[in-house]
Structures are given as structure tokens and as C-alpha cells.
Structure 1
Amino acid sequence: MQGFKGWKEFIYQVLIDSGQFENPTSHLKNATLIETFKSKDRNSLTEIRVGYFLQENKLIYLHIFNPIVPGYNKYVEGEYFYYYDYNDKNSYGDPALEFNKQNVNGVLTLLKNGLKGKEVQFIKNDRILKSILYIDGVNPKFNFLFTYDFTNRRFWNKVFGKRIDKMEGVKKREIELHTIFNGIKNVLQHRL
């Protein structure tokens, strides 16, 4: 962690020095600085969106985004870090991570390991109607499943209508999340 003043400098250094991401674009939204790092791979639509609360040098979120996986994007949309996310003794706490060694190592592990899990999509006429998202946790006990319906069907039609996966002409596609973001390969471990 030595040599880094805070989250913004640390994340910039890790993503840019990896050679996988371009310099970020930035904008302010209230007291949050948001940076978007786009992949240098022209065949990839992956972006990493980072939200910082600069006044207190805290990391609010780090979202990996790709339009190919709308279910995963919906999942991360409301996600943010909690104060104790990388603390073994406590959980949750206030929003955002302080800049300390334990949290830096946790975020670095997230960036190094990439995404784990898959998104199963149900498609008709080139339109994704439904996604089932399987997120692999660190421990198999903590695997998660989320379902997202992207149709405009009313609630009762979703409940009592025909299941999307049983509709005529619907095709199933599976996308392994590691193909969207497989992790940072060249990490500055010597500076930590």
C-alpha cells in the first residue's frame, strides 16, 4: 500500500498498469467522483465503473459492466461496498470502504480473480427476455441465483402466464462471466 495516497490513485495504477484498460473518463455526481475505465481490447465492451467519496477517501463501488450480460449489470447496479466487507469479525457497517491494507487486499483479489459464475439468457427475436444469474461465492455455501425478467409483462401475467423458457421460439444462451472479465493479469504486488 505504500506509495498510494488513496483509492483513486491505487485503482488507477492497478488498471492502467495492467495494460488492459484505457485512461478513465470522469464525472461528478453530487459528492461522488465516478470514473469509467474501458477495455483496450476492441472486441470487448467491458468497462469498470468506480465510485469514490473523495472527501473521506472511501471507495463506494467498483462495478464491472458489459451490455452482453444485462442480468449481471442489473445485479451490480445497486451494489456498493460496506465498511466491513473485508473484515472477518464484522459484517456490513456504513457504506464505502476505508483505504487500508485489509480493504486494498480485498479489492485487489476481486480485480485479480475476475468474475465467477454464469448468466443464462432466454432470447427471442434477438431480444433478451429473461436472465438467470448464477454468482459463485468465495465459499460454495455462498453461491447466489438471481432472476431478471426484461419483458413488459404485467405482474399477474408473469406469475400465471406462460413461462418464458417454455415459449415458442425462445432460445437459451449461456455466458460464463469470466469471459466478460477474467481478472487483471499484471498486478503491482511489489508496491503493496
Structure 2
Amino acid sequence: MQEFKDWKGFINQILVDSGQFKNPVAEFKGEAEIETYKTTDKKSLTEIKVGYLKDNLLIYLQIFNPTVPGYNKYVEGEYFYQHDFSGDGKTYGNPALEFNERNRNGVLSILKNGLKGKEVQFLKNGKVLKSKLYILESDLNFNYSYDFSTRDFWKKIFGQKIDKMDGIEKREIELKSIFSGI
């Protein structure tokens, strides 16, 4: 693989050369530069947002698709930390990833392997009211739950559970169908 000097060149090369994504649109939010890559597949709504900080640091790489609102909510607050791909047992550290071989390999692995897990949605009249997100394939008891209904706080706590309501349709979406990798 070609030698790169920064995250922007590296990620751009991978996504655009794959033929699956167009050149990004860039914008600035505070101290971050965000590049949004839209898919070349006219049937897909998937886009990838990549956030960079000054000094060549990668703060996030987020995959979005409007058909999986639970997963979108999950990735909204996900950021990279200094030790995310280190094998030394350390966790977290400073925000963002330095541009080095270990971190490049970690990000490349994410892009090549795609998403894992599934989102189980509970819909009424075509609108997602609740979503359960299963990220860990090894533990189906571990999930993130998101309530998208317009019920007030007390009804969410003490009211009928959405999945038990009349007229609720259940839909499962494999996250791999949203982004299967490069």
C-alpha cells in the first residue's frame, strides 16, 4: 500500500478507490474538520462521516444510514481514544488517534470488515418507535435500547411497553446490510 502522510489521504484513498464512495464534502465544526462520504450505490443511503482534529488526529469514523436510527444514535457519541488499538492493555487515553501503523491497521480493519450485529426495530404505521441494538454477537443479552416514541417521561417509565402494544410490527436489520465493508 502507498505511504501516506495523514489520516485524510489514507481514508480518502481507501473509500474512494473502493468505488463505493464519492469524494467527500468537508465542513468545519468548532476545531474539527468533518468529511462526509456518500455512497456511489444509488439504492443505498449509507454515508461515512470522518472527523479530524488539528495535528493529524482522527477523532471519529461514523457510519450512518436512516434505516437504522438506533445504530445512528449509538455512533453519535462514539469517538476514538489514544489506546483504542494498542495491544498494551491500556484503555482510553487522550481523545483521538495518532497517525501511526497500529492505528491505521485498526481503522483499515473496521473499513474492510464492515458492521457487525443487528438492530431490532418495533414499528407502528411504518414509524420506528423503539430500537434494540445488538453489537456483541457473542452476548445477545447485551443490547442498547432507544425509545423514539413521543410518549412523555412517565408513560415511558410506567406505561405499556412498546413491543407489547397492539399493531406493532417487528423488523430485524443486519448491520452488515448497511455497510459490509470495502
Q: How does the TM-score come out when normalised to structure 1? A: 0.90
CA contact 2:121–2:130 (8 Å) conserved in 1 = yes
Partner residue in 1 for 2:82: 83
Partner residue in 2 for 1:120: 120
Q: Displacement of 1:152 after TM fit?
A: 1.8
List gaps (5 residues or longer) in structure 2: none
List gaps (5 residues or longer) in structure 1: 185-192
> Structure 1: which amino acid aligns with 2:21?
F
Identity value in percent? 63
Partner residue in 1 for 2:60: 61
What are the superposed Cα offsets for residues 142-173 of structure 1, whole Å, 9 maximum, x if unpaired?
A: 98410000012122211211010110101000
| Aligned partner (choices 147, 150, 153) of residue 151 of structure 2 | 153
CA contact 2:85–2:102 (8 Å) conserved in 1 = yes
- CA shift in 2, pair 1:141/1:149, >3 Å: closer
The more displaced of 71-80 and 144-153 is: 144-153
CA distance in 2, matches of 1:141, 1:98: 31
- CA shift in 2, pair 1:143/1:99, >3 Å: farther
CA distance in 2, matches of 1:26, 1:119: 29
- Between the two structures, name the one with larger relative contact order (CA 8 Å, sep ≥ 6): 1
CA contact 1:135–1:143 (8 Å) conserved in 2 = no
SS in 2 for 1:95: coil
CA distance in 1, matches of 2:122, 2:24: 33
Q: Displacement of 1:136 after TM fit?
A: 2.6
The aligned length equals 181
SS in 1 for 2:61: strand
CA distance in 1, matches of 2:44, 2:142: 26
Residue pairs, 1:1-192, within 5 angstroms: 3-53=3-53, 55-89=54-88, 90-136=90-136, 140=138, 144-184=142-182
